[in-house]
Amino acid sequence: MRFQILHESPGRVRLRAAVHSMSMAQADVLEAWLRRQPDVDEVTVHERTCGIIVKYHGDRRLLFENLSGFSYKTSEHMADRQVRSSRALNRKYKEKLVFLVIRHYIKSLFIPVPFRRILTICTVLPRIVQAVKVLASGRLTVEVLDGIAIGTSLITGDHATAGSVHFLLHAGEILEEWTHKKSVNDLARNMSLQVDQVWLLEEDGRKSMVPLGQIVPGDRIVVHTGHVLPLDGILDQGDVMLNQASLTGESVPVAKHPGAMVYAGSVVEEGNCVIRVTHATGENRYDRIVRMIEDSERLKSGVETRAGRLADKLVPWCLGGSVLTWLLTRNAARAISVLMVDFSCALKLSMPLSVLSAMREAGRHRITVKGGKAMEKISGADTVVFDKTGTLTRACPTVLKVVPFNGEDEEMMLRTAACLEEHFPHSVARAVVQAAAERGLRHNEMHSEVEYVVAHGIATMIEGKRAVIGSAHFVFEDESVQILPEDRECFDALPQSVSWLFLGVGGILSAAIGISDPLRPEAHSAVEALHRVGIEKAVMLTGDNPNTAQAVADQLGIDDFRAGILPEDKAAYIKTEQETGRIVIMIGDGINDTPALSLADVGIAVGSGAVIAREIADVTIETEDLREIAWLKSLSDALMRRINRNYRFVMGFNGALIVLGAFGILAPAASALLHNASTILLGMNCLTGLIEEKT
């Protein structure tokens, strides 16, 4: 496909596709394809003009070479079917707004006055009927205020004011609905599943890793402990415990048995299973995310909830002020001017839009925040608790050494360890699998069902013997693995500067695998940045020995640490901190971190850790940079400042409009215009960025 360069500047190019027209679906394919190209940072495709704006870094020639090879036919699979575009939504509301304006001015300019009055009455009648219904139900809402204002204008013969007020209210409602739905749509795309490949179970029982897009209804896929269900389906094999918190808000895992319906987004906490897929498109997952964002109280911050309640409480006062104005002045126009202004619209629109916009801004930095409550808590947090392995350390540890025991062969032990670890997505497990791959060791399944024990270990059966791999505590204390007398001297000589995984088979120590787990290069600066943005206490929790933990804490500037602890100890520590009045952020990446992530005021999962940690956490940071946490704290602080500033503006500006209307300075139409204009402008301001650049 050919493209014409219209304008170019460093890191940015504006192009036009050499086609006569472009459908919305084609624009989505092109945009999705461009986003996946190397060095591309941001893409916008305009289907009406066939224009493309690309922001990039790196070699421009590579970008243009890739573009020259683009075709819709070969790239259609790039458009993720699980993510909807905003194009149809934007076009729908643009057309509704344009047609509304055209109809209004055609009526005003070309229709005779008698017919215009009849048309106005027919147009505004539903709004009056709605006001009567609400009032009859015993509630006083903004609909009642609008209905009374329009009805009073009709009674006094001021049809022009009634028509103008209805037009302004309708336009404002369209804009409010558009901005809200677009914000929800953008946020839902950020929160949609990012699963690229799945295990497909063939009819002959073999398993193969295939792209998610190849799965069709009727296929069977295998999902292991700690992984997310990528598609809806029926549980075909296996009894599992599913965490459905991301869909239902339930904090307790639910038992599922063969024949049960299971849904995309659930996480397997215990057991392995086979799912027979019923929906391959993922659209249902997207719809549930949208409903969750719109309806779940869990996503609403305390500020949003308080603002909504205050807005409802102010409606009777607005109505009372209008009645009082009429009693004092006997001027219907002044009373209607007061009715034209209410606090509900601006408060109920600006607060949620501010939160949704902040969540979307975080999403552009590859940070998924699952609710306004999380951002409010982050803003007020004073304590950060770090898991060490895979969080403060690099997400790519490496195997330095394999020490065999009990007369075992070194390569055979590494092969066995890789065979067990390949089922679990922790960074240390990946290091073992990678080490075996680098040595060219194939590790076909040699064991029975693998069991993940949430205390740093994996257990299974190999040739009738129990095989376990994990930490010293798990292997030697929990599993009572013994060290042969002839191996004791070699075991005692293992250097303590290295983290060790221990493999036991049949109750006897068979191997020790030394793991180098270097600290993240940005860890020290991340701790410093957190202190600068208001975090008073940074804590590290680790299963390492105290000497290693002390050295790491000193190196990173950690305020406190706990060494040699288990997952339940992490949760207990967080509970103790909360009981002292601290607001705690927990940062982790593994299955063993999930109890602490759930208990903390805000749980943050970083990097490419376990799927269950990312699903349970309130925040997921996809980038491998801990400094993003300090940036998120700054974003949350800016959000709370904006919300408080909006609150003061709404109360002050609308209060002034009421006073001006009561004194007859503003006519009803002018009050309605200024009120709706301020609400819309406030909503548009809420959609602007809170932080222009990363700190």
pLDDT value for 290: 55
Residue 693 has a pLDDT of 46
> Read out DSSP for 457-522?
EEEEEETTEEEEEE-HIIIIIIS-PBPPGGGHHHHHTS-TTSEEEEEEETTEEEEEEEEE-PBPTT
pLDDT number for residue 94: 83
Q: What is the pLDDT of residues 441-481, one digit of tens each?
A: 876 666 566 777 654 678 888 888 899 998 888 899 888 99
Give the residue from 545, 595, 546 showing the smallest Cα distance to 567: 595
The average pLDDT across 265-271 equals: 79
For residues 419 and 461, the answer to whether their CB atoms sit within 8 Å is no
Confidence category of residue 565, pLDDT binned at 50, 70, 90: confident
According to DSSP, residue 228 is labeled B
Please report, for the chain, the start and end positions of each structural domain, with discontinuous segments joined by +: 3-79, 91-188+298-354+637-686, 197-281, 367-393+520-622, 398-516
Q: Which residue has the higher pLDDT, 330 or 221?
A: 221
Confidence of residue 221 (pLDDT cuts 50, 70, 90): very high
Q: Is residue 299 scored above 60 in pLDDT?
A: no
User: Which residues make Cβ contacts (< 8 Å) with residue 569, sequence separation at least 6?
Assistant: 541, 562
Q: Does this model's pTM top 0.75? A: no
- When mean pLDDT is compared across 208-212, 300-304, 463-467, 576-580, the lowest value belongs to 300-304
Mean pLDDT of 110-131: 89
pLDDT digits (tens, 9 = 90+) for 393-407: 775 678 989 999 999
| Predicted confidence (pLDDT) per residue in 668-689, tens digit | 778 777 877 777 788 778 878 8
638 or 253, which is more confident? Answer: 638
Q: Is the pLDDT of residue 324 over 80?
A: yes
- In tens, the pLDDT along 58-104 reads 888 888 888 888 887 766 654 444 445 677 777 888 888 889 889 88
Q: What is the model's pLDDT at position 376?
A: 87
pLDDT at 302: 58
- Predicted pLDDT of residue 610: 64
Q: Let me know if the fold of 197-281 is the same as that of 367-393+520-622.
A: no
- Is pLDDT at 298 greater than 50 in this prediction? no
Q: 541 or 346, which is more confident?
A: 541
Region 503-521: mean pLDDT is 89
What pLDDT is stored for residue 488 in this prediction? 93
Inter-helix orientation angle 372-380/344-364, to 10°: 80
- 272-296 burial by CB neighbour count: b if 16+ within 10 A, else e? bbbbbbeebebebbbebbbebbeee
At residue 616, does pLDDT exceed 80?
no
pLDDT computed for residue 542 by the predictor = 84
Amino acid identity of residue 205, one-letter, is G
- pLDDT by residue (tens digit) across 33-46? 887 787 888 888 98
Average pLDDT over every residue of 164-185: 72
Residues 154, 118: Cα–Cα separation, whole Å: 11
197-281 maps to which CATH number?
Answer: 2.70.150.10
- The mean pLDDT of the chain is 80
In this prediction, residue 634 has a pLDDT band, given cuts at 50, 70 and 90, of: very high
Determine which of 99-113, 161-175, 257-271, 547-561 has the lowest per-residue pLDDT on average: 161-175
Pick from 114-123, 137-146, 337-346: least confident: 337-346
- Region 185-196: what's the mean pLDDT? 60
Specify the higher pLDDT residue, 498 or 195: 498
Domain 3-79 has CATH 3.30.70.20: no
CATH of span 398-516: 3.40.1110.10
Question: Higher confidence at residue 200 or residue 544?
Answer: 200
The order of strands in the sheet holding 602-606 is 367-369, 619-621, 602-606, 584-588, 383-387, 537-541, 560-562
User: Which of the four pLDDT bands, split at 50, 70 and 90, describes residue 193?
Assistant: low
- pLDDT of 365-396, one tens digit each? 888 887 778 888 999 999 999 988 778 877 56
Angle (CA) 382-385-390 rounded to 5° is 145
Residue 346 has pLDDT above 80, yes or no: no
From CA 653, how far away is CA 116, in angstroms rounded?
A: 34
CATH superfamily entry for domain 367-393+520-622? HAD superfamily/HAD-like (3.40.50.1000)
Q: What would you report as the CA-atom Rg of the chain, rounded to the nearest whole angstrom?
A: 31
Backbone angles phi, psi at 516, to 5 degrees: -90, 125
Could you tell me which residue, 567 or 596, shows the higher pLDDT?
596
Does residue 311 have a pLDDT over 80? no
Per-residue pLDDT band for 295 (boundaries 50, 70, 90) equals: low
> Predicted confidence band at 585 (pLDDT cuts at 50, 70, 90)?
very high
**What DSSP assignment string belongs to 616-637?**
HSSEEE-SS-THHHHHHHHHHH
